[in-house]
Amino acid sequence: MKILIAEDHPLFRSGVRNLLRTTDDLEVIGEASSGEEAVALAEQLHPDLVLMDIRMPGMNGIEATRIIKDKHPEIEVLMLTMFRDDQSVFTAMRVGAKGYILKDSDEEELLRSIRMVGNGGAVFSSDIASRMMHYFSQPQSVPVDDPAFSELTKRELEILERIAEGDSNAQIAARLHLSNKTVANYVSNILNKLQVSDRNAAKRLVQKTREE
């Protein structure tokens, strides 16, 4: 299995590389220290799996995963992170990651997770899995079947939901691992498509459709 490691901490990256070298079936074919490098190397090397850190300088691992999966859906992505928050997990899943493993996992768990995701499976710890089930069982804030929102993309609906909950652009950016500029562009598109003047009007529209 050909693996690309995307991790901005050289010491941790070296540790993972050395661990994989002890195996007969896992081969490191490239290393990236940023999301941009991960995207470029995935395009160039065509790995079977990318071991992707979420927090990296420049483009983060979530955005890098989104681009890689859009261009090469056959490449599997296993997120590697220190963060246990729900939003990181759900955002990673939405962009196509098949697993989410914490950096403090032991070596056997890491190797097992790589092999499972590389072979088409999915890996999430039991506590994360239970929170995921609870999260996805909750009703959506935005009634997506309403004709008023028919022109919005999945990402725009997601951001509209955060607007309806009263989040600022900065809060949305932090939750969805996007830049403030990207969120501002999405908000502008949403307002144009909904033909409303500002985010408060968009929020009122969501509240109105919930009541109908």
**pLDDT 10s digits, 163-196:** 988 889 998 998 888 899 999 999 999 999 998 8
Task: In whole angstroms, give the CA distance from residue 209 to residue 116.
Answer: 43
pLDDT at residue number 138 = 52
- pLDDT surpassing 80 at residue 122: yes
Establish how many alpha carbons lie within 13 A of residue 206's alpha carbon, considering only the half-sphere containing its beta carbon: 24
Count of CB atoms situated within 10 Å of the CB of 147: 8
Weakest-pLDDT range from 10-19, 135-144, 145-154: 135-144
Question: Both tokens of residue 176?
Answer: 């969805």
Beta bridge partners of 52: 6, 79
Helix (H, G, I), strand (E, B) or coil at 99: strand
Helix 199-211 × helix 180-194 angle, to 10°: 60
Task: In whole angstroms, give the CA distance from residue 78 to residue 122.
Answer: 9
- pLDDT surpassing 60 at residue 134: no
Per-residue exposure over 37-57, b if at least 16 CB sit within 10 Å of its own CB, e if not: bbbebbeeeebbbbbbbbebe
Q: Report pTM.
A: 0.63
Q: Are 20 and 137 in contact (CB under 8 A)?
A: no
pLDDT at residue number 126 = 56
Task: In whole angstroms, give the CA distance from residue 202 to residue 76.
Answer: 37
Task: In whole angstroms, give the CA distance from residue 92 to residue 79.
Answer: 7
* More confident site: 7 or 176: 7
- pLDDT surpassing 60 at residue 162: yes
Query: Strand pairing of 2-6 and 123-124?
Result: unpaired
Band (212; pLDDT cuts 50, 70, 90): low
Across 97-106, average pLDDT: 86
Across 48-76, average pLDDT: 92
Across 13-29, average pLDDT: 95
Band (141; pLDDT cuts 50, 70, 90): low
